[in-house]
Amino acid sequence: MDLVLCPSSPMLGKRVAESLGVKIAEVQYRKFPDGELYVRVLSEENSHILVGSLCSSEDIVLLNLLFDALKGEITAVIPYMGYARQDREFLKGEAVSIRAVAKMIEERAERVLTVNIHSNKAKEYFRKLMDLDAMPLIGEHFREREVVMVSPDKGSAERVKTAARFANCEWDWLEKRRIDAQTVEIAPKKLDVLGKTVVIVDDIISTGGTVVEAAKRLYELGAKRVETACIHAVLADFAAIKLFSSGISEITATDTVERIFSKISVAGLLKECILKAL
């Protein structure tokens, strides 16, 4: 058995390979002048663990090419499952992107591992998916510090509850309250943030818009310091600059998307699951 590193996850893939004691396969990636991608795998093994997040459309093409090039059994580890936010037909005629992605992966892979896929709905399109929860790791990271955790909306509340349990801190979510026909106020449901260090916790930070709005409100309510933590630091569209400009003091993320902010590794979590599954 060997481990195939995809261009989106070289560091995390290497960490997983080292923790499992599995060698890294020799793979060549190239891009032709017209933009076409090329993959060559030099492996004699008959069983492979492939590690690569879907951070871009190119990552999907590369994954498909790897599926073609690899011989034998594949365990597909997709730490960040991109395209999972388009998990239904919101407008008539739309592609359900994650359904198409799931079909492509499951046609070739024996088993599929991911970390905090965006929604339960997205999960429904897979039959072989193991969805791991990295929120306990986020919680443990903050355990020694005096913080409170806030979810930017009710949708992420359960995730933040888990992180807060492991951080051993108070938590809440931001609720929208209608004051009158023109005014909607956003505030923590119960928690008083005055003078506190608040960590806004979410599964994904993409454009940063959600966290920026939340941070603005938390400072208005008297928070002393606002940080943010997430599983998947997609950080599209100069999001990190937006976050820091809005007064966010620190960004903490896992390495499902490899960023300078990836202070927490999910390698151990993946290793445990792979050992159980194989």
DSSP letter at 146 equals -
The answer to the question of residue 155 lying near ligand R5P (CB under 6 A) is yes
Q: Are strands 184-188 and 171-178 parallel, antiparallel or unpaired?
A: antiparallel
The answer to the question of residue 136 lying near ligand R5P (CB under 6 A) is no
- Name the helix (H) or strand (E) containing 40: strand 37-42
How many whole angstroms separate alpha carbon 76 and alpha carbon 112? 5
Catalytic residue among 23, 31, 103, 176: 176
Tell me the number of residues near ligand R5P by CB under 6 A: 12
How many whole angstroms separate alpha carbon 131 and alpha carbon 115? 5
Nearer to ligand R5P, 4 or 230 (CB): 230
- Angle ∠(101,103,104) on CA atoms, nearest 5: 65
Nearer to ligand R5P, 94 or 158 (CB): 158
Token pair 């903050």 in the structure block, residue: 142
Nearer to ligand R5P, 39 or 117 (CB): 117
Q: Write down the least CB distance from residue 273 to ligand R5P, Å.
A: 23
Positions in 179-218 near ligand R5P (CB under 6 A):
202-210
How many whole angstroms separate alpha carbon 113 and alpha carbon 81? 10
DSSP letter at 187 equals E
The answer to the question of residue 258 lying near ligand R5P (CB under 6 A) is no
Q: Write down the least CB distance from residue 17 to ligand R5P, Å.
A: 30
Residue 123 catalytic?
no
Nearer to ligand R5P, 47 or 206 (CB): 206
Q: Which of 43, 86, 156, 262 binds ligand R5P (CB under 6 A)?
A: 156
How many whole angstroms separate alpha carbon 96 and alpha carbon 89? 6
Interface residues toward ligand R5P, by CB under 6 A: 152, 155-156, 202-210
Indicate which residues carry an active-site annotation. Answer: 176
